[in-house]
Structure 1
């Protein structure tokens, strides 16, 4: 013989008021085999109805949660692929979509910013992003490329001499052209004089040539 629940027992079981349970019973859709012989005896709800209702609710909840998870997963994958395309103008590989979907959209945006800020061109984005994830790179902590310093060498006097001082004699005559302003020639004269006083003999002829040009322009020495 089947056992039954009372309205009070079902109310306590579901955490609902007795009036809510009675409303369910009157509609007949939740516990279809419930019976009521009299107001005194009240409703009798078969245990089989309660078990069936609970199993149905559990299956529905599982299905809804699964659909929500799948929907969110698909949405994340789509967004990840889209933002990657915007940042790189290329479509990500399936492997890269899986990686970025796993870390989430917010982290993906950070990683793509790190990728864009890389001081050198990234030839392998997948390997770069894997390393960025593993080492926890952020836009604030991305490693900067350090230029290799050249060995220190004492500057020689020749390095600071203008290149036109080392040109051929024919080319040196062009050091003072008609297009040069007097002010430019005076600056050049002062520079040549400094080099000559430092012991650079190659500046002597140029200094004399420039002096004659300036004298023709009314500058006296």
Structure 2
């Protein structure tokens, strides 16, 4: 490991797709006791840089794949430390999946990892999940929160149908779950269109929403 690895900017290393250097710095910082959430936040900033370079056509699909692998490695390294800090268990169940017609899962998987680190019970339905599959799992597990992830705008009808279907099937007198949407397409306009209670493009902001829902 280079002696100066801790002096380099972690977001810049991520943006530059320096896989080994990112790994080495994260390991070194965890060993010296740095905040694992701060490390993860810095890596997410680096991922934003990757996205900008992709938009400028300076990076291609191969670059996005490498960046995704870097982030997965960082999540795997930091997750045990986050769990150690937030070891309390929550009675709240979160049902989550990527909307029908979309197979992207990086953001969803990061969100799930963080939820689990904070003690939430998560039911992961995977990708390309139909409204009916969401409904069946909702009936089985009775989650307090339902999360739907998507990167493609073409899935808006599936997301809207999923939320509408679940709300229509909630027994009279029972609590209606809160709906959170996330991913590259998420914004307030999109949330209003599909009927979601909250939207985010940041996994940690989604966790905070779920924590606030527990306290409410």
- Under a length normalisation based on structure 1, what TM-score does the superposition of the two structures give? 0.18
Q: Which has the larger share of helix?
A: 1
- Under a length normalisation based on structure 2, what TM-score does the superposition of the two structures give? 0.19
Q: Which has the higher contact order (CA 8 A, sep 6+)?
A: 2
Q: Which has the larger share of strand?
A: 2
Q: Which has the larger radius of gyration?
A: 1
